[in-house]
A and B are shown apart, each in its own frame.
Chain A
């Protein structure tokens, strides 16, 4: 095979045994790689209702067919897939850097990790040699420290490592898996799944050549895309970066502020992308094979957090800033560094702090409950203190580390209503009350509240639709974007390069064919995108989710935007949500309950999975 390594590595942590199996060309073409292949392999290797933190929940690591090539951004991604301890639905998270390319050169398309080691270990994949090594000396270390220690242990500074921090070891449901210090497979708690297996890290060295099937035409395409990467499609990421969104969202009153109490932040000017770049950005770096650069490295130049260095993006800045009412960039940067240090999803971590502050201001959590912290909105010290407690699972941090849904239930007294999540996953930086295409995208997203499964906010933010209106037609828009985004995360290419595919799926199909030698048309590729979303839906149905779970956070449906301005009073009613869901399910060919029909599964070549929906397709 070209593009694909053609091999899947199975690691059983119960016995320490490993084996390699062939990747079938049928799976390759149908599920592509990345999250698509990962979800299908997870389904094949798991049983219904598995506890996410039990040894029986496989952790699947996947690469894409483009991984390891020079194609702009295509060489550098990897994905983790497992049942999520936050959503109890399918979980997945993608990260970039250099780890994925190294894993491909080691000769694998996927690694399926099952069981649980009897003591802490790390997995050392050295081409064909696969070993479990003692990790006792790594426990308690941050992902970054773990990386350094393993490089010393193994005596090779070019080894690539993905690791969990203390949050993963302590099974925090928002734990992530971090490679190369700042790159996180962040969402849905994949780090907790890894931690539950007593697996501290995965280290890899790969020495194989990667060769595309049609190399001359492939290199012509690379040249063309190198030019496109320098053009307008990527300009935002190369310059201000995603923090540009702060002022854009704030002007549109679509930036959730103080745990969704407002949609507009009076302190936005102080935490803007403009100020961040002027005062804090020290360097913008790139991942392996990128051909642009986007990773804004910030350094705090003065004050109590002087010298703190981390990567900064809009979502994490928003979560620890406006969402907590905090207008100090140095504190936000420190918060981000702490999230990386403990290995927590920084979006969820910020949203949880915002939730705790809301609970405090409403008298649901007292200063005593919080271990002495005065957690008013805007108290930047409280952000740092609460993040420390969450990272270590001390005091209130032990409950908060469960995520807002579970924490809300445990705290009670109405805290549930203050917990802004979908399917258990914390919200991201788009106020869904006034972005109704996005609201649909978030509601149906198979991994819970997230902008990265569809990017449907773009229609609303760019004014391509009336963002305050719920109407027919949005279902199809969300569906098409979901198909595309699933493909991007399966190839794996970077979403920041999506604008360089001028011809959309046609360009992507061409890339796929040139790398793999497997003929692929844009129509077939779109089917694969649909298939990947469908397999995710089937998993979630098997795990007991349905229409009832395709919903929105409590405040989005019950607390109209209070801020004076263009969207005052905006809210999503149940009637509007039902209209949007009906439209979306219809566009997908699913029943009114959101169940894919037998005919649809047949059309997608997924007949063998129809047993999952048997008896559920009526009505």
Chain B
């Protein structure tokens, strides 16, 4: 079983994300051979012009979406952490959507069952990361995210200390 620390997911750097939706376009193209943000497993949020960020599945430990499903249609892959959807069992009731804190599991507009990021397992690598023109998306573990946050916090601290001198 993969431990939480090794589980990777796609994370967007809000400083780099410009809200261009190329991740949405390439996701729907890869999965469905059509350009349509509604069919993308990653969605861009622009809260205002300064706040842009793409959001997708975080592959949580004890994922609430799985726990919420009344039909046992969702399971988490022990190997990769991916949320697996049993298309026959899912009836699109939406309990998992309500349970997800990130809005990362969504109802497909045509099949009416839920869909969620699988890191493009058939392509070998997440296409959104490959295509993002700003290099805002990366495949990370929680540990790496924490490391990055620490480094940038300390760097900032020292820059400010320098300024004060």
A interface residue numbers (CB < 8 A to B): 68-70, 75, 98, 105, 158, 181-182, 207-211, 215, 219, 226, 229-230, 282-293, 295, 297, 299, 309, 311
B34 within 8 A of A: yes
* B50 contact set on A, CB distance < 8 A: 282-283, 297, 299, 309
Q: Which residues of B contact A288 (CB under 8 A)?
A: 20-21
Residues in B whose Cβ lies below 8 Å from that of A283: 18, 49-50, 52
B52-67 near A? 1/0 per residue, CB < 8 Å: 1000000000000000
How far, in angstroms, from A550 to B25 measured CA to CA in the complex? 44
Cross-chain contact A209 with B32 (CB below 8 angstroms): yes
Cα of A289 to Cα of B33 in the assembled complex, Å: 16
Which range holds the interface residue count of chain B? 20 to 34
- Contacting pair B109 A70 (CB below 8 A): no
B158 within 8 A of A: no
Could you list 9 further interchain pairs (A-B, Cβ under 8 angstroms) beyond the known A68-B35, A290-B20, A299-B50? A207-B109, A209-B36, A210-B35, A288-B21, A289-B22, A290-B22, A292-B133, A297-B49, A309-B49
Give complex CA distance A210, B18 in Å: 23
B36 touches A210 (CB 8 A): yes
A211 to B50, CA, bound (A): 31
Say which residue of A70, A230, A309 sits within 8 Å of B25 (CB atoms). A70
Contact A215 B33 (CB under 8 A): yes
Q: Offer 27 A-B interface pairs, CB within 8 angstroms, sorted by A.
A: A70-B26, A75-B25, A207-B109, A208-B36, A209-B32, A209-B39, A210-B34, A210-B36, A211-B35, A226-B131, A229-B133, A283-B50, A284-B18, A285-B18, A285-B19, A285-B20, A285-B46, A286-B20, A289-B20, A289-B22, A290-B20, A291-B22, A293-B18, A293-B20, A295-B49, A309-B49, A309-B50
The residue among B28, B36, B48, B49 with the most chain A CB atoms within 10 A of its own CB is B49
CB distance from A214 to the nearest CB of B (A): 13
A98 x B49 contact (CB < 8 A): no
Q: Is B86 at the interface (CB under 8 A from chain A)?
A: no
User: Which B residues have a C-beta under 8 Å from some C-beta of A?
Assistant: 18-22, 25-26, 28-29, 32-39, 46, 48-50, 52, 109, 131, 133-134
Question: Which of A226, A291, A309 gathers most chain B CB within 10 Å?
Answer: A291
B34 touches A211 (CB 8 A): yes
Q: Select A311's contact among B32, B49, B133, beta carbons within 8 Å.
A: B49
Nearest B residue (CB) for A209 = B34
Q: Are B32 and A286 in contact (CB under 8 A)?
A: no
Instruction: Return A200 CB to nearest CB of chain B, in Å.
Output: 22
Inter-chain contact A98/B21, CB cutoff 8 Å = yes
Q: How far is the CB of A213 from chain B (nearest CB, A)?
A: 13
A75 to B131, CA, bound (A): 16
On chain A, the residues within 8 Å of B25 by CB distance are 69-70, 75, 289
Whether B18 lies near A290 (C-beta < 8 A) is yes
Residue pair A293, B134 in contact (C-beta under 8 Å)? yes
A284 to B133, alpha carbons, bound, how many Å? 13
Tell whether A291 pairs with B133 under 8 Å between CB atoms, given A208-B36, A210-B36: yes
B107 CB to nearest A CB, Å: 12
Q: Which residues of B contact A219 (CB under 8 A)?
A: 29
Q: Which residue of A lies closest to B28 (CB)?
A: A209
Compute how far the CA of A219 lies from the CA of B22 in the bound complex, rounded to whole angstroms: 13
**Contact of B21 with A289 in the complex, beta carbons under 8 Å:** yes
A292 to B132, CA, bound (A): 10
The closest CB in chain A to the CB of B34 belongs to A209
Residues of A within 8 A of B46 (CB): 285
Q: A211 CA to B49 CA in the complex, in Å?
A: 29
Q: Using CB atoms, name the residue of chain B closest to A299.
A: B50
- A210 vs B38: C-alpha distance when bound (angstroms): 12
- Give the docked Cα–Cα distance between A285 and B25 (Å): 17
Q: How far, in whole Å, are A608 and B37 apart by their CA atoms in the complex?
A: 42
A215 to B21, CA, bound (A): 19
Check A70 against B20 for contact (C-beta < 8 Å). no
